[in-house]
Amino acid sequence: MNSTIKTILSYLPSKLPTGNTRYTAWLNEVTDLAGPIADVDSMQWVISNEVMRLASTKDRAPKAYFVKVLRKYAANQLAANKVMELKTKQQEAQNAAKLAEATAQQETATSEQTKETTN
């Protein structure tokens, strides 16, 4: 029940923390709301960067906003990994096709040379 209330309250804008103790507690609250998306240090790095990216006049933000940012960054990282995986797979397929073509051309040339020598 307590986590449900925290989740609901996370959608309400709250003051951004000032002071190291408050900031650390606030970061822990946001990472707890997000759940185990990544390691805590990585999540706190993303949140801290997002705080610095907020407009200079913005001193309030919902914690849920930062949870959504964390999920988006996690999805971006997975998508980037998949893109790189597919790109590597595509390059391997192109290299295999080139190798097969070169091998076929070499076999054709070898068989033509064999025919010429036997004739």
Largest CA distance in the chain: 92
Measure the CA–CA gap between 23 and 17, rounded to whole angstroms: 5
**Per-residue model confidence as pLDDT tens digits over 12-60:** 999 999 999 999 999 999 999 999 999 999 999 999 999 999 999 999 9
65 Cα distance to chain centroid: 18
The one-letter code for the residue type at 29 is E
The one-letter code for the residue type at 85 is E
pLDDT confidence band for 1 (50 / 70 / 90)? low
**Per-residue model confidence as pLDDT tens digits over 50-101:** 999 999 999 999 999 999 999 999 999 999 999 999 999 999 999 999 998 8
Could you give the angle at the alpha carbon of 7 between the alpha carbons of 14 and 51, nearest 5°?
40
Measure the CA–CA gap between 67 and 71, rounded to whole angstroms: 6
